[in-house]
Structure 1
Amino acid sequence: MRKILILSVSAGSGHMRAAEAIKAYATEFPDVEAVHLDAMDYVSSGFRSIYTDFYLHLVNRHPAVWGYVYQKSDNALPSATMQKLRRAMERLSTRALRAAINDHAPEAIICTHFLPAEMLAREIANLRMTCPVWVQVTDFDLHSMWLQPHMQGYFAASEEIAFRMASKGVNPAAIHISGIPIMPAFAQPLDRAHCAATFGLDARRPIVLMMSGGAGIGGVDKTVQRLLSMDGNFQLLAVAGKNVELLANLQQIADKHPHRLRALGFTQQIEQLMACADLAITKPGGLTTSECLAMGVPMIIHSPIPGQEERNADYLLEQGAALKAVDLSALEYRLNVLLQHPHLLAQLRSRSQALGRPHAGRTVLHTVLQQLESKSQQRIRKTDHVPHSSTSVEDAVTI
C-alpha cells in the first residue's frame, strides 16, 4: 500500500473540504491508503485561536482589516521582522504535528494549506525529511505564502495561476493544472425533480440557492428578507452552515414564508441542493465556486471577503461564469434580470460547465502516484546496473 498523507488547516472549511475530496478519490486506487490530518489538532489552543478563531472574527467583523493583512502578507519579504516572528511561532507550535507525520511515515504528502507546507519546507531544508511534499492551492488566486522551497510540485486551479507560479520562479515542470479538488459526488448526474422533492421544493418553480460558506459568514438573513419582498414565483433555499444563530433567524423567516423559503444548517448534501438550483447566490470561496462550476450552476457573487474571495470573484466575472452584486439593490436587480431572461441564465450555465473540473482530486492523486512509480522504477534500474564483483566471500575476507 502506498501511504499518502493529506495535511490541512481548519481556518474556514475550504481547505478541509479540498483535503477530504482528495482522500475520497483515493478509494479509486486500490493500492493507496490516504489519511487526512488537520494541523490544528496538533497545536496549542493559543496558536489555534490565531489561525482559526481570529481569522473568522476578522473576515466576519472586520473584512477590510483582513483585506489589508492579506495584501501586506502577500508582498512581505521573507526576511521581514513579522515574517520571522510568525515562522518562529509556527516552529514552537507544530512539534506535535511533526511527530504525527513521522508516525504515519507517508510516501508522499499533499498540503491543502500553506502552513504545513511552510513547516515541511524547513524540515526538508534541514535534512530531517526526504518525503516529497506537494501543494494544492485552493483559490483562483496565488498568495505568496503558498510558494515554499523544496516542494515536489504544485497543483493550480487554472492556467493563469500556473503561469503566475512560473513567473515567481517555480519550475514549470513542477506545476500541474488540476482545478480545486471537490468531492466525487459533484461529478455524478442527479435528477433535479427528485432533489427538489427531497427538500420540500417545487421543481416547476425557479429555485435560488443562497450559501454563506461552511462557517455561515455574512448577513444572509437580511439578504433573504430583502429578496422575499420581491415579486416573483421563485423559491429560496438558504444554507446557514455551522452558524446556529443564523439558522435560527432563517427558520423564523421561513415560518412566515413556508412556500418560498427553506432554511438549512450545515449539510453534507450540498451537491443535491445545487442539482435542483437554477441559480446560486454565494460568497466566492474557492471550494464553493468550484462545486458550482462542476455542477454548472450560474452564480451571483455577493459580499466577497477582501483578499482571496475578491480575487476569486474577479476570475469568475472575467470568465463569464458569474455576475456580481455590490449591494442588496444590485442583487435584487440582477436576480430579476436573470429570472426574466432565461437565455442569460443559460449563458452563465454554459460558461460554468466549461470551467468546471469535477475530477480535480483524481488528477492530483494520479499525478502524485505517477511520480512515485517513476521514482521507484528509477531506483530499480539503478540497482540492476550496479556491477557485481567476482570476488568470492573467502577472497573478500582475505583482502
Structure 2
Amino acid sequence: MKALILTAKFGMGHYSAAQSLKSDWERSFPGSQAVVRDILSCAMPNFSQKIYQSFELLVRRGSKLYSTFYKFSSHAEKQLNIARYPMGDFLVQCAKRLIRTEKPDIIISTIPVASDIITAYKEKTGDNITLVTCITDISVHPEWVSTGTDYYLVGAEKVKKGLVGRGVPAEQVFVYGIPVRQCFKGQKPAESSLKKHLLIMGGGLGMLPKEMDFYEELSSLPDVETVILAGSNREIYDKLHGRFPHVNVVGYTKKVDEYMGWADLILTKPGGITLFESIHSGLPMMVVHPTLPQELNNAKYIEQHHIGRVLWKRPKNLATAIYEFLMDEYSLMAMRRNMGRIRQALDSGALQKIIGQGTKREERTA
C-alpha cells in the first residue's frame, strides 16, 4: 500500500506537515510506503523556486496586502476550478504523470492547490482515487474545501464544525491535530529545577526587540536560563552569541524537540506546526503581537484553550512580562494540563479509519 503526499513550500509548515504524515503513515502501516512530492516542483521545476521566493517576499514585505486578500477571500465562496484556468490542463496532465509514475493507493494533500489539482484530475479522468486533505490551519478558509476531497484531517474540533457547516459530512472529518514529528510526542515535562528555562524561536525572530537592553534584562532575570534558536538568521546569531551569560544562542539545529523538553515556556510566533509541537511537548506558549491571519487564528485558539498567553500588542517591557509568566507556576501547570486534554482528544487512529472506509468506498464503486 502506497501513499502519495502532495505539498508545496509556501512557508515550510505545509512541507513539514507532509514529512510528519509520511512518518505517521509508515508507522501506522508497517511495510507500506509513503512518498512526499512538491506539486509545483514536479509541474514547473524551472520556475517553482521563483514562485516561492515571490510568495515569501509578499508575506515579509507586503503582509498587510496579504492579510487583506486572505480576509476578503475567507468570506467568499470558493469558485476555483483548476481545469478551467489557462494552465489547468497542464497541471492536470502533470498530476496524471505523477500518479502513473508513483502508482499510489491514496493521495494526501497538505496544501489547497494540490487538493484542487487532484480534484480537477479526478473530474477529468474519472479516477476515484481517495484524496485526503490535511488542513494545516486552525480555521476553515474556503481555499481548503474541494469537491474531490474524500476525507479531511483537521487540527481542532472548531475546524471540523466549520467544514460540517459548509456541507462536509461529519464522518469524513477527523480531528487529527496538525501533524508533527514523532519526537515531539510523548515528551516528558521539564524536570523540576531551581532555575526556570525559557526557549525563544520562530518567525525569523522578527518578533524580538532590536535593542540590546532587552537581552541584558533577559540575562539578568533571577534564576532564568534562556535559549534562543536563531535558525538560519545569521544576523541574530552574530549579534548575540556569547554576549550574555544567561542567554545561549543556537544556530540551525535538529534538536528542537530536546529544547522544548528542557523549557518551561516558549516565546514564539504562533505557526500551526509550532503550536502543535508545543501541545505535544506540554510546553506553555507566549505569543507576541501576532499579525498574519493564520497567526491570529492560532493565537485565539491558544487563548480559548488556555494553553498560553497572547500579548496582542508589544509590551513596554517584554522581559518583565516574560518573568512574571515564568514565575506563575499555577498558570503554567494548568496550561500543561489543558495541553494534555487536547492531546487525549486527538484521533490518532484516523489514518487506519480512513483506509478502512476507503476500502469500502472502492467496493461500492466497483
TM-score w.r.t. the length of structure 2 is 0.88
Partner Cα distance (1:224, 1:138) in 2: 35
Mapping of residues 141-156 of structure 1, within 5 Å: 141-156=139-154
Kept in 2, the 8 Å contact 1:22–1:364? The answer is: no
Kept in 1, the 8 Å contact 2:82–2:116? The answer is: no
Give, as a single letter, the amino acid of the residue that structure 2 aligns with 1:9: A
Alpha-carbon distance, 1:179 to partner: 1.2
Partner Cα distance (2:126, 2:186) in 1: 42
The reply to whether residue 249 of structure 1 matches residue 239 of structure 2 is: no
Identity of aligned residues (%): 21
Counterpart for residue 59 of structure 1: 59
- Number of matched residues? 361
**One of 251, 261, 272 as aligned partner of 1:275:** 261
Counterpart for residue 229 of structure 1: 217
Can you list the C-alpha shifts for 1:120-158, whole angstroms capped at 9, x where unaligned? 111111234221101010111111100000211111211
Mapping of residues 1-399 of structure 1, within 5 Å: 2-28=1-27, 29-44=29-44, 45-50=46-51, 52-79=52-79, 87-89=85-87, 91-92=89-90, 95-190=93-188, 192=190, 204-213=194-203, 216=204, 218-220=206-208, 222=210, 226-230=214-218, 231-232=220-221, 233-241=223-231, 243=232, 246-257=233-244, 259-325=245-311, 326-329=313-316, 331-356=318-343, 362-375=348-361
Moved more, 114-123 or 305-314: 305-314
Can you list the C-alpha shifts for 1:196-233, whole angstroms capped at 9, x where unaligned? xxxxxx965211111114xx262446388624324413
Partner Cα distance (1:95, 1:330) in 2: 56
What 5-or-longer segments of structure 2 have no aligned partner?
A: none
Kept in 2, the 8 Å contact 1:140–1:312? The answer is: yes
Q: 1:295 to 1:145 in 2, by over 3 A?
A: same
TM-score w.r.t. the length of structure 1 is 0.81
Kept in 1, the 8 Å contact 2:242–2:249? The answer is: no
Kept in 1, the 8 Å contact 2:20–2:180? The answer is: yes
Alpha-carbon distance, 1:376 to partner: 6.2
Alpha-carbon distance, 1:322 to partner: 1.3
Give, as a single letter, the amino acid of the residue that structure 1 aligns with 2:229: V
Moved more, 333-342 or 130-139: 333-342
Kept in 1, the 8 Å contact 2:119–2:149? The answer is: yes
Can you list the C-alpha shifts for 1:305-351, whole angstroms capped at 9, x where unaligned? 42111111111111111111221426434312212322222222222
Kept in 1, the 8 Å contact 2:59–2:66? The answer is: yes
Kept in 1, the 8 Å contact 2:178–2:276? The answer is: yes
Alpha-carbon distance, 1:161 to partner: 0.7
What 5-or-longer segments of structure 1 have no aligned partner?
A: 194-201, 383-399
Alpha-carbon distance, 1:48 to partner: 4.4
Moved more, 100-109 or 184-193: 184-193
Alpha-carbon distance, 1:85 to partner: 11
Partner Cα distance (1:286, 1:178) in 2: 13
Kept in 2, the 8 Å contact 1:294–1:357? The answer is: no
Q: Which has the larger radius of gyration?
A: 1
- Secondary structure, aligned partner of 1:173: helix
Q: 1:248 to 1:354 in 2, by over 3 A?
A: same
Alpha-carbon distance, 1:56 to partner: 1.8
Give, as a single letter, the amino acid of the residue that structure 2 aligns with 1:42: C
Kept in 2, the 8 Å contact 1:7–1:36? The answer is: yes
- Secondary structure, aligned partner of 2:24: helix
Can you list the C-alpha shifts for 1:288-320, whole angstroms capped at 9, x where unaligned? 100101111000112424211111111111111
